[in-house]
Amino acid sequence: MPYVNVKVAGKLSKEQKQRLVEGITKLLEEVADKPPSATYVVIEEVDRDNWGKGGKLLSDK
């Protein structure tokens, strides 16, 4: 059973989340022959104050 954890900085709309879940599930079915009913996708929205890159918080960019 595939388990995919997607972390994104900031918020996504419900539509964006749905598209991600559909796309990831379809890709695993096509590439790894995994049935959609066995695929779990978790989306974590990380506040930009809690994510850093290059020594700076994303919220400061």
24: domain CATH number? 3.30.429.10
> Which residues form the catalytic set?
2
pLDDT at 61 > cutoff 90? no
For 5-47, the pLDDT digits (tens) are 999 999 999 999 999 999 999 999 999 999 999 999 999 999 9
| Contact criterion met (CB below 8 Å) for 51 and 9 | yes
pTM: 0.88
Q: Is residue 59 part of a domain?
A: no
Q: Is residue 60 part of a domain?
A: no
Mean pLDDT of the region 38-59: 97
**Residues 6+ positions from 47 with CB-CB distance below 8 Å:** 10, 59
Looking at the structure of the chain, the number of domains it has is 1
The range of the structural domain enclosing residue 21 comes to: 3-49
